[in-house]
Structure 1
Amino acid sequence: MAHPKSRISKQRKRKRRTHQKLDIPQIAVDTTTGESHLYHRAHWYEGKLYYKGRLVIDQEEE
């Protein structure tokens, strides 16, 4: 069974674990619809799909 050659100190262990944290997702507001959405993601609004303020898919036409 593998085991470390020397003991890892508490400080070294805690420094490594500081990178494991949750980030708050960035939320943008669409200029066309005023709807909140995640950055770099398309979002649905009233049966239409918008990306970067532009209409991509219109469900009513299909």
Structure 2
Amino acid sequence: MRNSGKKIEAFFQLWIAVARILVEMEKNHQVYGGMDPRKCAQSIVAMIEGGLLMVSRQNIQVL
């Protein structure tokens, strides 16, 4: 699998894991019950990836 394929696979694995955690948290009344765990997981993963991209860009500029 090419590097981009590995990144896509890693994204989906992270997304699935976050969605599962959110479902469990909803069952335990730890988060709002009206949310869509899949959409929230997608947003969380996108924010993490955006933050990592920002950090990597800053590190490149320093070099």
Common fold: TM-score over 0.5: no
Q: Judging by fraction of residues, say which structure has more helix.
A: 2
Could you state the TM-score of these two structures normalised by the residue count of structure 2? 0.27
Q: Structure 1 or 2: larger strand share?
A: 1
Return the index of the structure with the highest Cα Rg.
Answer: 1
